[in-house]
Amino acid sequence: MASLSPAEQEARLRLHALPEIGAMRQRLLLDAFGSAAAALSAPASAWRALRLPAVAADARRSPETRERAARALAWLEAPERHLLCLGTDAYPALLAEIADPPPLLFVEGHLAALERPQLALVGSRQASAQGLDNARRFAHSLAAAGFCVTSGLALGIDGAAHQGALDAGGATVAVLGTGLQHLYPRRHLGLARRLLAGGGALVSELPLDCTPQAANFPRRNRIISGLSLGTLVVEASPSSGSLITARLAAEQGREVFALPGSIHHPGARGCHQLIREGAQLVESVEHILDALRGWLALPATTAPAPVEDDPLLRHLAAGPLNSEELAQLSGQPLPEVLVHLTELELAGRVAASHGSWTRLG
Amino acid sequence: MASLSPAEQEARLRLHALPEIGAMRQRLLLDAFGSAAAALSAPASAWRALRLPAVAADARRSPETRERAARALAWLEAPERHLLCLGTDAYPALLAEIADPPPLLFVEGHLAALERPQLALVGSRQASAQGLDNARRFAHSLAAAGFCVTSGLALGIDGAAHQGALDAGGATVAVLGTGLQHLYPRRHLGLARRLLAGGGALVSELPLDCTPQAANFPRRNRIISGLSLGTLVVEASPSSGSLITARLAAEQGREVFALPGSIHHPGARGCHQLIREGAQLVESVEHILDALRGWLALPATTAPAPVEDDPLLRHLAAGPLNSEELAQLSGQPLPEVLVHLTELELAGRVAASHGSWTRLG
């Protein structure tokens, strides 16, 4: 469906605001009644028949429910704020495919970021200097290759991933485990602002005023992996929440990548566990691109053509260009251009910086 | 067959001494004529029919062939020198299963070492200090768990593996890429002597007087992997010969294990390549024991019983014992005792040192 009527959008927000009604029950109601508006006006007996708690059915017409929906609508009036509802065209296609998709997502920032191919990059909050550096480097290269880097805005690896993508001039998406009005951790407020200024987006399925609660973070992880073609775990102890994200990615049929480390480095143990469970061991971004070739329906890597024959290198002879410009000029699809640019980068023929590609030598 | 007659043994040595007749052609001749003696007395036309070179058929009765066989027989007269012929009971059972088994093996040292379950531990000649330390530690633990550690006596990881096994009081086998009269590298002459004194063995399929030739080392690797239930690669560059050993192990249907390392450590790249090809990522000896449980037909790890109920701990209460003594005292099969001891070691209940087990606490 292209989009919802304003009335149905408001009804979805009311459903979302009801007590005891989570993602699964919202989807149950939408399936049973066909729309949120129909669910809200259905007799209480129909809700009982679906084994839904009376407290939820009773709260449908409470002033509090109305007010919560009204507050969300007011929040949405500011620029660059969006409500993405499951079943509409704007809802991220990959996320809609998972077993337990959020019925709605609040988004602050640029929807274009959610339309790019996304790769999740996650890891421990307590990371080593080397782990943080690896996260920044991989995020930088993935962003330069045209991926939107998705993570959780947490301290440690998540933050370094967002930063690395920003450093490459790429868009990055942060999926929060709080409402968008309670950004957490506060120490990453500046990072969130830079993310928004860099064309990225903040995403949450939680009520806007939802404060940090431990139980919400693991469920948030299914959105990080669900938005993404694959999840890369950079450094993680066996107890890290990023292992949950990786296992959810595997359950969702997405690729799981993990960076190895020394057997004497405790921060590598979670990654090693994932590799033993079937995750792909990754040493370079090239490994990730190779694995995603199938997803992007791209031909296998071939040696770059001689400079004079390579259309991208020909276009870059006139000066730096970004990948969209190259796609337009060359008439090639963007994903193919991105992979080809990465191959040229690995061959030392081009360099990426702040979202533009420069021809070398 | 229990063993060969002295005449057939001498005939096998003569076949082995012929020019242009390698392992494959020796097996072809044995299959075609039923014995080495029959092959040696067959008409030259029968050899031509098998497309064997005339120079080989002609050399059967040359003085040089007789002399080479005689010199080998003379070498075999000294103590602890053995000739193991394919098809006899003394020939290592696992090695007989590979696609291209050596028709004969010269052995110096203790045949008992070849009768134990063997695990190959290999890696780069140019290894880091950490790599050498890892090799020593894994070899020590594997030897303490009852495995014979098999390697190639090369500088670097191989040497550290033999040393680690010796430090644990375990037997270790070195498969040479030279004849046993030309031990190589010379720098490991002392290590070879300690290996022999420690109940181990030196093994080679090559003529006793064969000098170091680059072409012989990769083929030697099939014997290292072929003797072993599995091959562990500790540290290896992508060009290391130990990757050949690991790939041969995989082709032979044996387990392949590799230690991960930092993505910034070139010495880890070969291991990472193997893991990407399907080798098991290993952080501890426990991972290896878990994987070999199927081979050894052992039950899955269970929590150790309380001290008073555990038969091994009861026997160790009287003082240190080695694993064979424990097997005898407890009436349990040796492999089961070995795995159980390793579990107790991991649980901090026993410690291994110089081949004996001591109860802790």
SS3 of residue A350 by DSSP: strand
Q: Note whether A254 and A245 are within 8 A (CB).
A: no
Torsion angle in degrees (nearest 10) through CA of B169, B175, B178, B184:
-30
Distance CA A82, CA A196 (A): 13
User: DSSP string spanning B28-76?
Assistant: HHHHHHSSHHHHHHS-HHHHHHTT--HHHHHHTT-HHHHHHHHHHHHHH
Q: What is the pLDDT of residue A307?
A: 55
pLDDT for the residue numbered B301 = 44
Quick check: A47 and A26 in contact, CB under 8 A? Answer: no
B130 with A262: Cβ contact below 8 A: yes
Contact B262 A130 (CB under 8 A): yes
Best of A272, A274, A277, A280 to disrupt the B interface (most B CBs within 10 Å) is: A272
Query: CB A275 to CB B275 under 8 A?
Result: yes
Give the mean pLDDT of B89-104. Answer: 94
Q: What was the pLDDT predicted at B190? A: 97
Q: Which residues of A touch B263 (CB under 8 A)?
A: 134, 259-261, 283-284
Higher pLDDT, A339 or B21: B21
Task: Compute the C-alpha angle A92/A279/B343, nearest 5°.
Answer: 140
pTM: 0.80
Write out the two tokens for B292. 């070999």
Q: Which two tokens stand for residue B259?
A: 């230690």
Tell me if residue B193 falls in helix, strand or coil: helix
Taking the C-alpha atoms of residue A232 and residue A280, their distance in angstroms, rounded to an integer, is 9
Contact A263 B287 (CB under 8 A): no
Interchain CB distance below 8 Å, A262 and B265: yes
Helices and strands counted in chain A (H then E):
18, 11
- The pLDDT of B84-113, averaged and rounded, is 95
**What does the pLDDT read at residue A360?**
80
Tokens of A162: 């967002």
Chain A partners within 8 Å of B259 (Cβ): 263
Yes or no: say if A177 and A206 are a contact pair by the CB < 8 Å rule: yes
Q: Which two tokens stand for residue A270?
A: 């979670």
Radius of gyration for the alpha carbons in chain A, expressed in angstroms and rounded:
22
Alpha carbons B48 and B260: distance in angstroms, whole number: 51
Query: Is there a contact between B276 and A276 if contact means CB atoms under 8 Å apart?
Result: no
Partner-chain residue, chosen from B134, B269, B281, that has the shortest CB–CB distance to A283: B269
Q: Are A263 and B265 within 8 A, CB to CB?
A: no
pLDDT, tens only, B146-183: 899 999 999 999 999 999 999 999 999 999 999 999 99
Q: How far apart are CA B332 and CA B175, in angstroms?
A: 31
CA A41 to the chain's CA centroid: 34
CB contact under 8 A, A130 and B264: yes
CA distance A117 to A290: 15
- Summarize the confidence of residues B88-115 as an average pLDDT: 95
Q: Does position A334 have pLDDT exceeding 80, yes or no? A: no
Q: What is the DSSP string of B91-143?
A: S-HHHHTSSS--SEEEEEE-HHHHHS-EEEEE--SS--HHHHHHHHHHHHHHH
Distance CA A271, CA A273 (A): 5
Angstroms from A227 CA to nearest CA on chain B? 26
Q: What are phi and psi of A350, to 5 degrees?
A: -135, 160
pLDDT at B113 over 90: yes
Q: Tell me the chain A residues in contact with residue B280 when contact means C-beta distances shorter than 8 Å.
A: 276
ipTM > 0.90 (yes/no): no
H or E segment and range at residue A75: helix A63-76
Q: What percent of chain A has pLDDT above 90?
A: 77
What pLDDT is attached to residue B303? 45
CA distance A97 to B279: 32
Q: A271: how many CB neighbours lie within 10 A of its CB?
A: 34
- Chain A residue nearest residue B287, CA to CA: A276
Q: How confident is the model at residue B304 (pLDDT cuts 50, 70, 90)?
A: very low
Q: Which amino acid is at A98?
A: I
Residue A108 predicted with pLDDT over 90: yes
Please name the amino acid found at residue A300: A
Condensed to tens digits (0 to 9), the pLDDT of residues A46-89 reads: 999 999 999 999 999 999 999 999 999 999 999 999 999 999 99
Chain B positions in Cβ-Cβ contact with residue A287 (cut-off 8 Å): 276
Higher local confidence (pLDDT), B322 or B177: B177
Q: Which residues contact B275 (CB under 8 A, 6 or more apart)?
A: A260, A275, A281, B258, B260, B281
Mean pLDDT, rounded, for A258-263: 97
Q: Do residues B338 and B146 touch, judged by C-beta distance below 8 A?
A: yes
Checking if the pLDDT of B17 tops 80, the result is yes
User: What pLDDT digit, counting tens, does each position of B118-152 carry?
Assistant: 999 999 999 999 999 999 999 999 999 889 999 99
Query: pLDDT for A278-318, tens place per residue?
Result: 999 999 999 999 898 766 654 444 444 555 678 888 888 88
Q: Which residues contact B287 (CB under 8 A, 6 or more apart)?
A: A276, B257, B280, B281
Whether B16 contacts B103, CB under 8 Å: yes
What length does chain B have?
A: 361
pLDDT in tens, B267-301: 999 999 999 999 999 999 999 998 987 666 544 44
* Closest to B93 in 3D by CA, of B61, B118, B130: B118
Tell me which chain A residues have a C-beta less than 8 angstroms from the C-beta of B261: 260-263
Provide the shortest C-alpha distance from residue B5 to chain A (in Å): 50
Residues 6+ apart with CB under 8 A from A171: A110, A112, A113, A116, A143, A148, A165, A198, A199, A200, A201
Q: Given pLDDT bands bounded at 50, 70 and 90, which one contains residue B361? A: low
Residue B1: which pLDDT band, with cuts at 50, 70 and 90? confident
CB contact under 8 A, A262 and B264: no
Category of A280 on φ-ψ map: left (φ > 0), alpha (ψ -120 to 50) or beta:
beta
Q: What is the pLDDT of residue B359?
A: 86
Q: What is the DSSP letter of A308?
A: G
CB A36 within 8 A of CB A14: yes
To probe the interface with B, which of A281, A284, A288 has the most B CB atoms within 10 Å? A281
Among candidate residues A307, A256, A293, the one with its CA nearest the CA of residue A145: A293
Rounded CA-CA distance B341/B344 in Å is: 5
Average pLDDT over residues A108-121: 95
Give the closest of A130, A259, A263 to B283, CB-based: A263
Which of B130, B260, B284 comes nearest A260 by C-beta?
B260
Q: Residues 6 or more apart from B311 whose CB is under 8 A from it?
A: B330, B332
Residue-wise pLDDT tens digits, B39-81 = 999 999 999 999 999 999 999 999 999 999 999 999 999 999 9
- Mean pLDDT, chain B, rounded, equals 91
Pairs across A and B, CB distance < 8 A: 51
User: Distances in Å between the alpha carbon of A85 and those of A112, A177, A203, A346, B335?
Assistant: 16, 18, 13, 40, 60
Mean pLDDT over residues A32-49, rounded?
96
What mean pLDDT do residues A24-28 have?
Answer: 96
Spatial neighbors of B61 by CB under 8 A, at least 6 apart, are: none
Using a CB-CB distance cutoff of 8 angstroms, which residues of chain A are in contact with residue B265?
262
Q: What is the pLDDT of residue A354?
A: 60
| CB distance A274 to A231 below 8 Å | no
Average pLDDT over residues B234-247: 94
| Whole-number pLDDT of residue B298 | 45
CA–CA min distance B201, chain A (Å): 31
Residues 6 or more apart from B150 whose CB is under 8 A from it?
Answer: B118, B119, B120, B121, B172, B173, B174, B175, B224, B227, B228
Query: Cβ contact (<8 Å) for B272 and A281?
Result: yes
Shortest alpha-carbon distance between residue B88 and chain A (Å): 40
Contacts of B284 in chain A (CB under 8 A): 263
CB B197, CB B191: distance < 8 Å: no
Residues from chain B contacting residue A265 (CB–CB below 8 Å): 262
Contact B263 A268 (CB under 8 A): no
